């Protein structure tokens, strides 16, 4: 089945730094989504991407839908302590398909 690959499992950065996360697949996806999960809570949608090549921003977050439709990246600029959490990528392969999730990257921000 389809898989989304996120690595590394954990990232540690200093407050104020930028960080970039990748999500890759061997399959083509029609939609890419990025979620953030705070400790003890459910994931919350950060950014949704619907077209190959699309670049979308949401505050300090920027995400892109790869031109091959097999990858996406999320960039967080000027990190702050509340950016800590697990970041999941997810995607749809076709109409009415279930979302496929990556295993997530746990981000830690040192003050």
Partner 1 sequence: DGGITQSPKYLFRKEGQNVTLSCEQNLNHDAMYWYRQDPGQGLRLIYYSQIVNDFQKGDIAEGYSVSREKKESFPLTVTSAQKNPTAFYLCASSHRDYGYTFGSGTRLTVV
Q: Is the Cβ–Cβ distance between 69 and 58 less than 8 Å?
A: no
Residue with tokens 């400790």: 39
Smallest CA-to-CA distance from 8 within 72, 104, 73 is with: 104
Which residue in 9, 57, 68, 108 binds partner 1 (CB under 8 A)? 9
Is 111 near partner 1 (CB under 8 A)? no
Q: Which of 19, 21, 25, 43 binds partner 1 (CB under 8 A)?
A: 43
Instruction: Examine residue 101 and tell whether it contacts partner 1 (CB under 8 A).
Output: yes
Tell me if 99 contacts partner 1 by CB under 8 A: yes
Which token pair is 87?
Answer: 């970041």
96 sits near partner 1 (criterion: CB under 8 A): yes
57 phi and psi angles, rounded to 5 deg: -120, 150
Q: How far is CA 78 from CA 55, 67, 92, 95, 102, in A?
A: 19, 26, 30, 36, 24
The C-alpha atoms of residue 92 and residue 73 are separated, in whole angstroms, by: 16
The one among 5, 7, 45, 68 contacting partner 1 by CB under 8 A: 45
Min. distance of Cβ 103 from partner 1 in angstroms? Answer: 4
- Of the candidates 8, 40, 59, 111, which one interacts with partner 1 according to CB under 8 A? 40
Residues that bind partner 1 (CB under 8 A): 9, 30-31, 33, 35, 40-45, 48, 88, 90, 92, 95-99, 101-104
């Amino acid at each position: 089945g389809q898989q989304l690959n996120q690595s590394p499992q954990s990232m540690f950065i200093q407050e104020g730094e930028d960080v970039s996360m990748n999500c890759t697949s061997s399959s083509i996806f029609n939609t890419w989504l990025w979620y953030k999960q705070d400790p003890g809570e459910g994931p919350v949608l950060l950014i949704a991407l619907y077209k190959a090549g699309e670049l979308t921003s949401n505050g300090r977050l920027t995400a892109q839908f790869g031109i091959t439709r097999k990858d996406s990246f999320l960039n967080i600029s000027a990190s702050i302590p509340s950016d800590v959490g697990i970041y999941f990528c997810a995607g749809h392969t076709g109409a009415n398909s279930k979302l496929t999730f990556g295993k997530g990257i746990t981000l830690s921000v040192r003050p």
